[in-house]
């Protein structure tokens, strides 16, 4: 008979805590275990996570010696140790222990037992923390299968497992699959619900509505939200607190999603419910603890409606009640923020100082908690001296508690920088800002190396102001300071396009290209990084002040050694792990060249200290110009709206060879941009340009100067997503093969009918299903011409030009792709709407790509004929010297301020390609064939890559029939400009 009681006892013990059975006659070993239990409990109460691991390990070893490995008590201790390691960030170690617990459960009770299910449950946390999503799927699928077998396919337990599986699919951007799983789970909850306000049913409805909202299925989301509203309003058993909170949650989705027409009525209803309940409780039970919380939430609802007077009334009442009861709930600081919004900073200051005094009485170690808020009010009042004193004390307290590398410490330095800026102490402000940004860079590196793609997006969303501040500091406070320009450019190099770099060069991507032994190195590295991140955030309390610096240093040394080992195995890892310093980038700028790094940024008014309602100034473009040596030069280019409008006109003219306004529109855009930059180039004509915003899709060579000449006649342009790309290009890898050409694919008939989009693609299949790909016989001729010049290249034509064959290439010297390219823009939101809060937006790399054989059929499976940019980023192109994208719109991509262009151009650089040639609009077949033929002849003759393209473009432009930039300006060179010699 299977030992069914084994895991039940284990689970009961996990729930009950860590207390061991006490016997009258205790052995020495039992006394030791009891002592260790108390020590562990004390450490856990203090959140000393790292010290807790050591004690939990001793406890496990002591129990194992006493009762044996497979005893219930020993397994419980192992569970405690695994959990402690997980909390401390040692996920590799915790997974190993969880696997052993699972093995024991399977041995004693079978692989499909409830005991095995319970052993699987805690394991998933460590996989989530390491972003090992592919390994999570079989675990969740197995958990669901076991629950389905044991509990039944109509059980609430099985529905809950499906919900967890849906969460994983959602995190993997498999929205269609996630939606189906969520809907299946909801259907089970619907069938099981005894009442319409069943908590599990309401939870399922909220989740499904959120998925609909996030995936832009707003009508379906609103229908479910309407149902939730109806349930709350008609329920006879739901408490007012719960019902009002649920309505407030729906109102928040609408409010932050730009649907004030739907949000305001709900907020008013929430206010009505709270006011009625508060009045009733004050009569029947004035000491009810819910009254205080309701008053606070009532005030916040009024604030959301901009009814500051009633918000003041409710929050003031909450603060008075808080004082009467003698507790401390923090509503005073909420009221203080409201007072600032009302233009009453002195009242806000008094409230904050009172809150500070009350908190200090009950928690002396928290005596500086409110210093940052008080300093901000003092800055508003012009009392800079006192603000400095308070922030200095707070910084010292944070240093003692967390150390100088913690994000909280960096935030306090940023606050001090703002005080210095406002008071006119610019040098001190610059130093504080620099130190704060260095800490942010360290934090960013940890987030990008250990977090998920969603973590990265959230981090950049929350901390985007840091780049704006660094750039704006040079514009508004230190326009003539070379060091301020260096600070701004360094920050820009560290932020621009970094999210995509991290996503495509993640450990998961690198892992797939390594051997099993080398993957073990990555596991160890991921575990060490996570521990460092956890320890950094926890501060000295995790280990004790005496051991904190020692533990940090130990982990950093371990990570450094592992990074060296992984770097030897992976060129991609060597790239992503490089430190990003301006001096390192400058060394890689050719002596006769200049780097132009453009940024679209949010300026701020240095005179405005506080705004109750943030009103942003119009965005601007700026450029940093820097050479091989010397300080960068900052140039304010002006209004982003004006430049974006000029870009739109220029690109419209370029895409039509009959348009006679191309020169005039090119001159207009030149005057707004390059006319301000050229005087700062020091005579350099070799330009490395890293645009931003809409300027990413501008062929600068086709701009027209004040002499009515195209800039191509004066300059050689090479495009970069960021000057940081130069660090990537410095990591050289030998080609693994010769040249490969894909041309004239057989797209196979008509597209599939609408509604029959394959389920496996899910995320863009509806858009792709509406596209038909006509044959491209001209690309076949192009391939023949290229092969004549570059002998020995392998050509895949017709039915052989498949997506699968592209994915099978490994570092060819040259990869030439002559086929249809596409860029699918987002559907604009309905008028009055904007993105919902924390929306999981579709990855931009899924909106651009190339079509290959079979694309019109869009068959299911991995080779469906469509190579998205996301898939392209995973190609093995390390060692590839040149990728040519001879297709329409391949250079285009989602234009995202601060993150450069998402699209094939960036994806292929991430995949390892040294240089690219790509197109910005649909190109003429005849002109393309001539251009490609001339380009390859010049490459074969040893010309630098960008220079070879410029030469053939000048030759074509010189012919009357091809003089319009439509014929020659579409092709842009990106990456390495040296000759192809290896």
pLDDT digits (tens, 9 = 90+) for 588-647: 999 999 999 999 999 988 778 888 877 889 999 999 999 999 999 999 999 999 999 999
DSSP string for 104-170 = HHHHHH-TTSHHHHHHHGGGHHHHHHTT-HHHHHHHHHHHHHHHHHHH-TTSHHHHHHHHHHHHHHH
Does residue 8 register a pLDDT over 60?
no
Q: How far apart are CA 353 and CA 453, in angstroms?
A: 40
The sheet that has 716-719: what strands, in order across it? 633-639, 620-626, 593-601, 686-690, 716-719, 971-975, 915-919, 882-885, 814-818, 740-745, 794-798
Residue 472 placed within a domain: no
Residue 543 placed within a domain: yes
CATH value at residue 31: 1.25.40
Q: Which domain holds residue 37?
A: 4-129
Residue 780 placed within a domain: yes
Domain count, the chain: 3
671-712 pLDDT tens trace: 999 999 999 999 999 999 999 989 988 999 999 999 999 999
Q: What is the pLDDT of residue 670?
A: 98
358-373 pLDDT tens trace: 877 766 767 788 999 9
CATH value at residue 737: 3.40.50
Residue 116 placed within a domain: yes
pLDDT confidence of 833, banded at 50, 70, 90?
Answer: very low
477 to each of 48, 380, 421, 603, how far by Cα in Å? 43, 18, 7, 12
Residue 582 placed within a domain: no
pTM: 0.72
- Mean pLDDT within 655-663: 92
Q: What is the pLDDT of residue 98?
A: 94
Query: In the listed set 107, 129, 151, which residue is the last one of a domain according to the structure?
Result: 129
Q: How many CB atoms lie within 10 A of CB 834?
A: 10
> Best-predicted range by mean pLDDT among 56-60, 300-304, 726-730?
56-60
Does residue 750 register a pLDDT over 80?
no
pLDDT confidence of 809, banded at 50, 70, 90?
Answer: very high
310-368 pLDDT tens trace: 999 999 999 999 888 876 668 999 999 999 999 999 999 999 999 888 877 766 767 78
pLDDT confidence of 153, banded at 50, 70, 90?
Answer: very high
Q: What is the pLDDT of residue 758?
A: 30
More confident residue, 568 or 979: 979
Residue 755 placed within a domain: yes
Q: What is the pLDDT of residue 757?
A: 31
Quote the mean pLDDT of the chain.
83
pLDDT confidence of 544, banded at 50, 70, 90?
Answer: low
Q: Picking from 45-49, 160-164, 234-238, which range would have the lowest pLDDT averaged per residue?
A: 45-49
pLDDT confidence of 735, banded at 50, 70, 90?
Answer: confident
841-898 pLDDT tens trace: 445 566 678 889 988 876 544 567 888 787 887 788 888 999 998 876 555 554 445 4
207-225 pLDDT tens trace: 999 888 877 788 899 999 9
Query: In the listed set 129, 149, 176, which residue is the last one of a domain according to the structure?
Result: 129
pLDDT confidence of 563, banded at 50, 70, 90?
Answer: confident
Comparing C-alpha atoms, which of 857, 861, 862, 856 is closest to residue 874? 862
Query: In the listed set 92, 111, 129, which residue is the last one of a domain according to the structure?
Result: 129
Q: How far apart are CA 982 and CA 978, in angstroms?
A: 11
674 to each of 212, 353, 707, how far by Cα in Å? 45, 53, 13
- Report the percentage of the chain scoring pLDDT > 70: 83
Residue 460 placed within a domain: no
pLDDT confidence of 102, banded at 50, 70, 90?
Answer: very high
Does residue 281 register a pLDDT over 90?
yes
pLDDT confidence of 957, banded at 50, 70, 90?
Answer: very high
Q: What is the pLDDT of residue 457?
A: 64
Q: What is the pLDDT of residue 6?
A: 40
Does residue 30 register a pLDDT over 90?
no
Residue 303 placed within a domain: no
Torsion region of 403: left, alpha or beta (phi above 0 gives left; psi -120 to 50 gives alpha) = left
Q: What is the pLDDT of residue 156?
A: 93
64-93 pLDDT tens trace: 999 998 888 999 999 999 999 888 778 888
Does residue 962 register a pLDDT over 80?
yes
Asked whether the beta carbons of 489 and 632 are under 8 A apart, the reply is: yes
Q: What is the pLDDT of residue 338?
A: 95
Q: How far apart are CA 910 and CA 304, in angstroms?
A: 43
């Amino acid at each position: 008979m299977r030992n069914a009681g084994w895991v039940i006892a284990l689970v009961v013990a996990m729930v009950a805590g860590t207390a061991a059975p006490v016997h009258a006659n205790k052995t020495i070993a039992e006394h030791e275990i009891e002592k260790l239990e108390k020590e562990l409990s004390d450490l856990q109460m203090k959140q000393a996570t790292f010290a807790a691991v050591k004690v939990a390990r001793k406890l496990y070893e002591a129990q194992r010696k006493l009762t044996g490995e497979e005893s219930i008590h020993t397994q419980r201790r192992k569970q405690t140790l695994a959990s402690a390691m997980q909390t401390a960030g040692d996920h590799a170690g915790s997974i190993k222990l969880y696997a052993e617990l699972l093995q024991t459960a399977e041995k004693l009770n079978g692989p499909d037992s409830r005991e095995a299910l319970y052993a699987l449950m805690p394991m998933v946390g460590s996989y989530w923390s390491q972003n090992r999503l592919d390994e999570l799927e079989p675990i969740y699928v197995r958990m669901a299968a076991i629950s389905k077998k044991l509990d039944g396919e109509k059980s609430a337990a099985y529905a809950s497992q499906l919900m967890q599986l849906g969460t994983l699919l959602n995190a993997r951007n498999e929205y269609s699959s996630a939606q189906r799983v969520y809907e299946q789970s909801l259907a089970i909850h619907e069938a099981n619900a005894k009442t319409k306000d069943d908590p599990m049913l309401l939870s399922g409805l909220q989740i499904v509505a959120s998925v609909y909202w996030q995936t832009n299925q707003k009508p379906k989301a609103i229908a479910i939200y309407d149902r939730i509203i109806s349930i709350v309003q008609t329920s006879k058993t739901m408490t007012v607190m719960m019902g009002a909170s649920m309505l407030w949650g729906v109102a928040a989705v609408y409010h932050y999603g730009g649907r004030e027409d739907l949000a305001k009525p709900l907020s008013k209803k929430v206010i009505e419910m709270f006011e009625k309940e508060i009045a009733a409780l004050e009569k029947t039970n004035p000491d009810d603890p819910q009254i205080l919380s309701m008053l606070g939430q009532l005030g916040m609802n009024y604030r959301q409606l901009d009814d500051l007077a009633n918000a003041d009334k409710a929050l003031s009442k909450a603060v008075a009640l808080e004082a009467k009861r003698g507790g401390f709930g923090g509503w005073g600081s909420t009221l203080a923020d409201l007072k600032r919004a009302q233009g009453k900073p002195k009242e806000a200051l008094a409230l904050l100082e009172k809150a500070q005094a009350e908190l200090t009485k009950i928690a002396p170690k928290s005596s500086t908690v409110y210093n940052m808020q008080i300093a901000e009010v003092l800055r508003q009042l012009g009392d800079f001296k006192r603000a400095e004193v308070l922030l200095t004390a707070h910084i010292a307290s944070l240093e003692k508690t967390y150390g100088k590398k913690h994000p909280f410490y960096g935030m306090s330095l940023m606050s001090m920088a703002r005080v210095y800026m406002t008071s006119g102490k610019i040098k001190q402000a610059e130093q504080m800002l620099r130190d704060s940004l260095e800490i942010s860079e360290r934090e960013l590196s940890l987030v990008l190396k250990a977090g998920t793609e969603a973590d990265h997006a959230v981090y950049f969303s929350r901390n985007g102001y840091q780049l704006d501040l660094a750039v704006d500091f040079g514009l508004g406070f230190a326009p003539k300071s070379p060091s301020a320009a260096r600070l701004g450019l360094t920050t820009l190099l560290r932020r621009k396009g970094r999210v995509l770099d991290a996503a495509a060069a993640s450990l998961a991507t690198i892992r797939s290209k390594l051997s099993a032994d080398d993957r073990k190195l990555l596991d160890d590295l991921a575990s060490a990084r996570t521990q460092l991140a956890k320890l950094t955030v926890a501060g000295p309390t995790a280990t004790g002040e005496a051991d904190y610096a020692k533990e940090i240093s130990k982990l950093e040394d371990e990570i450094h050694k592992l990074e060296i080992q992984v770097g030897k195995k992976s060129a991609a890892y060597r790239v992503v792990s490089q430190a990003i310093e301006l001096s390192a980038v400058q060394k890689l700028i050719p002596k006769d060249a200049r780097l132009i790094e453009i940024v679209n940024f949010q300026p701020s008014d240095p005179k405005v200290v506080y705004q109750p309602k943030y009103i942003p100034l119009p965005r601007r473009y700026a450029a940093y110009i820097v050479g091989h040596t010397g300080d960068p030069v900052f140039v304010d280019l002006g209004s982003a709206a004006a430049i974006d409008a000029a870009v739109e006109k220029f690109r419209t003219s370029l895409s039509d060879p009959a348009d006679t306004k191309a020169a005039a529109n090119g001159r207009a855009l030149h005057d707004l941009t390059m006319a301000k930059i050229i005087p700062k180039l020091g005579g350099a004509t070799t330009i490395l340009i890293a645009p931003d915003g809409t300027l990413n899709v501008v062929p600068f060579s086709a701009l027209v100067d004040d002499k009515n000449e195209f800039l191509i006649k004066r300059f050689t342009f090479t495009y970069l997503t960021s000057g940081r790309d130069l660090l990537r290009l410095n990591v050289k890898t030998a080609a693994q093969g010769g040249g490969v050409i894909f041309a004239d694919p057989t797209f196979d008939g008509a597209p599939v009918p609408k509604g029959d989009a394959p389920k496996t693609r899910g995320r863009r299949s509806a858009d792709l299903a509406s596209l038909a790909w006509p044959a491209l016989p001209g690309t076949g001729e192009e391939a023949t011409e290229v092969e004549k010049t570059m002998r020995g290249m392998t050509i895949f034509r017709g039915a052989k030009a498949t997506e699968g064959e592209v994915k099978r290439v490994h570092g060819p010297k040259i990869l030439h792709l002559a086929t249809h390219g596409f860029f699918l823009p987002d559907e604009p939101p309905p008028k009055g709407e904007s993105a919902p809060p924390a929306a999981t937006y579709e990855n931009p790399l899924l909106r651009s790509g190339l079509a290959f054989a079979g694309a019109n059929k869009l068959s299911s499976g991995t080779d469906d004929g469509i190579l998205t940019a996301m898939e392209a980023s995973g190609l093995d192109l390390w060692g590839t010297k040149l990728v040519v994208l001879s297709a329409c719109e391949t250079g285009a991509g989602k234009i995202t301020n601060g993150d450069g262009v998402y699209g094939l151009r960036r994806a292929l650089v991430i995949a390892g390609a040294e240089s690219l040639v790509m197109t910005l609009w649909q190109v003429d077949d005849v002109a393309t064939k001539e251009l490609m033929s001339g380009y390859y002849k010049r490459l074969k003759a040893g010309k630098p890559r960008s220079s070879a393209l410029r030469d053939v473009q000048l030759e074509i432009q010189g012919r009357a029939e091809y003089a319009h930039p439509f014929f020659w300006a579409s092709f842009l060179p990106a990456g390495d400009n040296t000759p192809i010699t290896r």
